[in-house]
Amino acid sequence: MYKYQYIIIIILISYFSSAFGEALFGNEKNDKNIIWKAGLNRYIIFEKQDSGKFGKNDHPVNFESQDIKYALAALSIPDDSFFSLDDDTVNIFTVQQIKLLSDQLPKGFSNARPDQDIIFVLEKNESGFLGLDESSFIAGRMFFKEGRLNLIIGEYEFFRSKAFESFYDGSGRKAVPYSFNFGSRTRDSKNFDEIFINLPGIENKKANKIRHDWFVIDLKVAAKAYVNRENRGTESIQDKKLEAEAAKLARERRLMRAEMARMRKEMQEDNNGGASAKSIEERIATLEQLLDKELITKEEYDTKRKEILNDI
């Protein structure tokens, strides 16, 4: 009996997913809502506001592609993968996803109406457990309010279901329209328990509680802070290299002083005819070693060599 119930559930999911895909893309009149799309499950489109609770959006709006690129690059979460360290983080969007969004969103928001949001579904492929390729989706909605970009993540790491795709489309073309949660102004998608946002210009929405799935971003401020942080990171690496080089030079100077002091002591003992006096050959060999190590100059070498030879 349970077997038949499972089949019925799969059929219903397939039906509603198919209906969603057809309603979204199968009708010519909806083409004007499409900003970008590449297949059934990768798109950026206009969508009616999910709620009027917070008022109309500040659309249309214009902004620089570079600003949103840097702001999205700053969004990261704790990395909970098996081999990660405690303070490791991972970006919410991949480099390819950021490039796509920064290319398409300025065009979309410059044409958006006050009663429209922009919703998106993007896909990424990565190596999973045992090196197997895994494909997952990220879905959400964006809108401008009070001059700041609002981003709500509805789905994060929504993995493909091979069983569902095989049942729905046995051809193996993966032409299966999934049904996604695009995030909501009134309901937390609970994608994230905590978020690392230590950057000016980015904060979580504060309503009755902190919404970790909802980001409010001042693009100009966040972009500038991100660039400054990256530059500081580069400068820090350069500073460490300079410090290491300075420490190396300091060690070499200390060695040179010690070697010169030892040489002077040995020269004095030789002049006094001490039991530790070295032969002329040994003293010249010592000088040559100092010269090879660049602990003395050629002029110093010539002067000391002449002094040694004068003792003969």
CA distance 166 to 26: 22
**pLDDT band for position 4 (cuts 50, 70, 90):** very low
pTM: 0.65
Same domain, 20 and 104: yes
Average pLDDT over residues 109-122: 97
Choice between 226 and 309, residue whose per-residue pLDDT is larger: 226
Instruction: Dig out the tokens for 298 from the structure.
Output: 């050629």
| Per-residue model confidence as pLDDT tens digits over 71-108 | 999 888 777 665 555 567 788 999 999 999 999 999 99
Tell me, what's the pLDDT at 110?
97
Q: What is the dihedral of CA 241, 245, 248, 252, to 10 degrees?
A: 180
Choice between 214 and 207, residue whose per-residue pLDDT is larger: 214
**pLDDT band for position 14 (cuts 50, 70, 90):** very low
Q: Based on the number of CB atoms within 10 Å of its own CB, is 36 exposed (0-12), middle (13-18) or buried (19 or more)?
A: middle
Which among 196, 217, 238 is the end of a domain?
217
Range of 33-37, 83-87, 164-168, 289-293 with top mean pLDDT: 33-37
Domain total in the chain: 2
234 belongs to a structural domain: no
> For residue 256, what are the domain limits?
247-310
Choice between 282 and 188, residue whose per-residue pLDDT is larger: 188
Same domain, 303 and 159: no
Same domain, 209 and 266: no
Same domain, 193 and 306: no
Average pLDDT over residues 44-56: 94
DSSP letter for 118, please: E
Which among 172, 197, 217 is the end of a domain?
217
